[in-house]
C-alpha cells in the first residue's frame, strides 16, 4: 500500500484510498472485522517497550524531598508547643497535623530548582496554611465552640511562622550538601550551540545550582567535538545515555537541530522519570519568570512529566470502573432491548468480538453489538460498510447513534479499556500505521477508550490517521481528570445534537 494511504491528504484521497482497504469500519475511528481476527496478534516492539525508574535517581530525589518534608514536619510539630497552652493540645495538634499532611514535599512534590528560595515558596505555604485554618475554623463555629476557633487561628499563625523558619533551615542544609557535591542531579544538555554551551559551563562551575553536568547531546551539522563536558552522542542515543549515566535532569537548548527533531526522542522518555527543562525561544522576553528557573541569567521552563502515571493511573482506573459499572446497571433495560432488536435483525450472535490493541500494545477482545447479518465472507476485511447489503435497519441505526459500542462498557469494567482514550485499532493496522504515521505508536501510552479527544474533534470514520495520532498524543501528554470530563460531555453533546 502507498504511504500516502496513511498521510494527511485531501478528504477525497483519504476516502478513495481507504475504500480499497475493504474493512468493516468502526464508527468511532477503528476498523471492524466481521469475525474474530485469526492468527497471531502483531504487537509492535515500539509500543510494548517500557522504560523503568532508575533507582539511584529516585533515591536522590527522595533524599532532597525528605530533607524539605522533614523540616516542614518539624516546623509544624514545634508550632504546637507555644500554641497548645492557649489553644489546647487537642486543637493545636489537629491544626498542625492537617498542615503537615498537606506538605507538598512530603507528597512527592519536589522538583529540581537552581536556586531554592523561601520567598518563592511563600505564596504556596501561606495558601496551604490558610486553607487549613479556614477548615479548622469552620468546625468549631458550626459546633458553637468559639474558643476552639480562636485556638485554631492562633495555631495556624504559629504553624505558618515555624514552617517558614523550617523551610529556611531545609534550604540551608540543601545548599551545604550541594556545595559538597551531595545529591546533585546528573544533567544532560541537548544542544551544543551558544546557549547550550553557556548553560553547561554555568552548571559545571557552580554546584550550588544542584546539577552535575555530565555532557551534551547533539547531532546537527558540525557538532562541537571539543565541548567540555564532552559531546556524548546524538539524539538517537538519548534514551541510552539517560540510562547509562543515570540522568535526573535534561535541559533542552535545541542546538543545531530544529524543534521537530526533538519531539520523538522526548516522547520516548515518558517512563524514564527524568525532569525536562526547556530553554524557550526569546527567553529574554519570557514573562513567566516566577514559574521558571534561572541559571546565570538564562530562563529554563519545566516541562510537565507524563501526566498519566502512578497515582493518577489508579484514580482513572477506579473512576472508570465505577462509572462503567453504574452505566451497565442503569442502561441494562436499554441493553436488553438492543440485544433483542439485533437478534431479530441479524440473527444469532448478538455480540460481535474482535481483537484490538490496548495500552502498551497489549491485545484484548473488544465487544460490540453486531450490526451486520452473518454471511459466508465474514472474514473479509472492509473499511467502510455503510453501503453493505448485510446492514439492516437496526444495524444502521445503532451504528449511526453509536449504540453498538455500549457492550464496551464491559471492556472498561474488565480493565481492557477506559471511558476516555484513543480509540483501539486492530493489530495489523497498528503495525502498518506505526511504520508509516509519525508518532502513532506513542498513542498507546494511555488506555484506549470508548470515546476520545480525536473523536470529539470530528476525527472518526474516513478521516486522517495522522491527525488522529496527533490528537491522541496531545491527550496523552495533557491528560487530566477535568480533560476526561470535558471529553465525555462533548461526546454526549455530539450524540444528542449531531451536526
CATH of the domain at 201: 3.40.50.720
Least confident of 53-57, 99-103, 289-293, 390-394: 53-57
User: DSSP for 58-119?
Assistant: HHHHHHHHHHHHHHHHHHHHHHHHHHHHHH-HHHHHHHHHHHHHT-TGGGT-----SS--HH
User: Alpha-carbon distance 32 to 252, whole Å?
Assistant: 42
**Residues 172 and 191 occupy one common structural domain:** no
**Residues 412 and 439 occupy one common structural domain:** yes
Of 418, 396, 436, 400, the residue nearest 483 (C-alpha): 418
179, 209, 242: which is the final residue of a domain? 179
**Residues 156 and 226 occupy one common structural domain:** no
**Residues 456 and 316 occupy one common structural domain:** yes
Percent of the chain scoring above 70 in pLDDT: 72
Of 95, 162, 93, the residue nearest 132 (C-alpha): 95
Domain count, the chain: 3
User: Alpha-carbon distance 180 to 187, whole Å?
Assistant: 17
Report, in angstroms and rounded to the nearest whole number, the Rg of the chain calculated over CA atoms: 28
- Angle, CA of 458, 431 and 268, to the nearest 5°: 80
**Residues 122 and 233 occupy one common structural domain:** no
179, 206, 229: which is the final residue of a domain? 179
Q: What is the pLDDT of residue 291?
A: 63
Cβ atoms 417, 448 nearer than 8 A:
yes
Q: What is the pLDDT of residue 20?
A: 36
User: What average pLDDT does the chain have?
Assistant: 77
**Residues 18 and 44 occupy one common structural domain:** yes
**Residues 288 and 245 occupy one common structural domain:** yes
Domain of 380 in residue numbering reads as 3-49+310-496
Confidence of residue 30 (pLDDT cuts 50, 70, 90): very low
Q: What is the pLDDT of residue 444?
A: 92
Cβ atoms 366, 408 nearer than 8 A:
yes
Q: How many CB atoms lie within 10 A of CB 450?
A: 25
Residue 389 has pLDDT above 90, yes or no: no
**Residues 385 and 411 occupy one common structural domain:** yes
User: Alpha-carbon distance 240 to 243, whole Å?
Assistant: 5
Q: What is the pLDDT of residue 9?
A: 36
Structure-block grid coordinates of residue 30: 477503528
**Residues 134 and 112 occupy one common structural domain:** yes
In the predicted model, what is the mean pLDDT of residues 31-57?
A: 42
pTM over 0.85: no
Q: What is the pLDDT of residue 282?
A: 63
Confidence of residue 270 (pLDDT cuts 50, 70, 90): low
**Residues 255 and 356 occupy one common structural domain:** no
**Residues 284 and 335 occupy one common structural domain:** no
User: Alpha-carbon distance 40 to 33, whole Å?
Assistant: 15
**Residues 67 and 115 occupy one common structural domain:** yes
CA distances 180 to 170, 173, 209, 211, 293, Å, are 16, 11, 12, 12, 22
163, 179, 195: which is the final residue of a domain? 179
Amino acid at each position: 500500500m502507498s504511504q500516502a494511504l496513511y498521510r494527511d491528504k485531501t478528504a477525497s484521497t483519504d476516502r478513495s484510498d481507504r475504500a480499497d482497504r475493504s474493512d468493516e469500519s468502526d464508527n468511532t475511528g477503528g476498523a471492524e472485522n466481521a469475525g474474530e481476527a485469526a492468527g497471531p496478534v502483531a504487537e509492535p516492539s515500539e509500543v510494548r517497550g517500557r522504560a523503568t525508574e532508575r533507582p539511584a535517581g529516585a533515591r536522590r530525589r527522595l533524599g532532597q524531598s525528605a530533607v524539605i518534608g522533614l523540616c516542614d514536619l518539624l516546623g509544624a510539630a514545634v508550632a504546637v508547643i507555644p500554641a497548645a497552652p492557649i489553644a489546647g493540645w487537642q486543637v493545636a495538634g489537629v491544626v498542625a497535623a492537617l498542615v503537615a499532611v498537606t506538605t507538598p514535599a512530603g507528597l512527592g512534590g519536589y522538583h529540581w530548582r537552581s536556586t531554592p528560595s523561601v520567598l518563592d515558596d511563600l505564596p504556596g505555604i501561606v495558601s496551604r496554611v490558610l486553607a487549613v485554618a479556614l477548615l479548622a475554623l469552620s468546625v468549631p463555629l458550626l459546633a458553637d465552640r468559639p474558643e476552639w476557633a480562636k485556638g485554631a487561628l492562633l495555631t495556624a499563625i504559629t504553624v505558618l511562622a515555624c514552617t517558614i523558619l523550617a523551610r529556611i533551615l531545609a534550604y540551608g542544609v540543601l545548599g551545604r550538601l550541594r556545595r559538597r557535591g551531595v545529591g546533585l542531579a546528573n544533567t544532560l544538555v541537548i544542544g551544543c550551540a551558544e546557549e547550550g554551551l553557556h548553560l553547561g559551563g554555568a552548571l559545571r562551575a557552580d554546584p550550588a545550582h544542584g546539577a552535575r553536568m555530565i555532557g551534551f547531546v547533539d547531532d546537527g551539522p558540525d557538532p562541537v567535538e571539543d565541548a567540555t563536558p564532552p559531546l556524548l552522542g546524538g539524539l538517537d542515543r538519548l534514551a541510552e545515555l539517560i540510562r547509562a549515566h543515570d540522568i535526573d535532569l535534561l535541559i533542552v537548548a535545541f542546538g543545531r537541530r530544529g524543534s521537530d527533531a526533538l519531539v520523538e526522542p522526548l516522547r520516548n522518555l515518558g517512563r524514564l522519570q527524568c525532569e525536562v527543562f526547556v530553554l524557550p525561544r526569546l527567553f529574554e522576553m519570557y514573562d513567566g519568570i516566577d514559574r521558571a528557573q534561572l541559571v546565570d541569567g538564562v530562563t529554563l521552563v519545566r516541562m510537565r512529566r507524563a501526566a498519566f502515571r502512578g497515582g493518577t493511573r489508579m484514580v482513572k482506573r477506579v473512576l472508570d470502573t465505577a462509572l462503567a459499572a453504574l452505566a451497565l446497571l442503569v442502561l441494562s433495560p436499554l441493553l436488553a432491548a438492543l440485544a433483542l432488536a439485533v437478534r431479530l435483525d441479524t440473527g444469532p450472535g448478538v455480540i460481535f468480538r474482535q481483537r484490538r490493541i490496548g495500552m502498551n500494545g497489549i491485545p484484548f477482545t473488544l465487544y460490540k453489538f453486531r450490526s451486520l447479518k452473518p454471511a459466508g465472507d465474514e472474514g473479509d476485511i472492509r473499511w467502510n460498510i455503510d453501503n453493505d447489503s448485510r446492514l439492516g435497519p437496526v444495524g444502521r441505526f445503532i451504528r449511526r447513534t453509536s449504540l453498538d459500542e455500549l457492550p464496551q462498557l464491559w471492556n472498561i469494567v474488565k480493565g481492557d479499556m477506559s471511558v476516555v482514550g484513543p480509540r483501539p485499532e486492530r493489530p495489523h493496522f497498528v503495525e502498518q500505521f506505526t511504520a508509516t504515521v509519525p508518532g502513532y505508536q506513542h498513542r498507546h501510552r494511555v488506555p484506549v477508550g470508548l470515546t476520545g479527544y480525536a473523536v470529539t474533534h470530528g476525527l472518526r470514520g474516513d478521516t486522517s490517521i495522522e491527525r488522529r495520532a496527533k490528537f491522541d498524543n496531545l491527550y496523552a501528554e495533557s491528560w487530566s481528570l477535568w480533560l476526561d470530563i470535558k471529553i465525555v460531555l462533548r461526546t454526549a453533546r455530539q450524540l444528542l445534537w449531531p451536526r
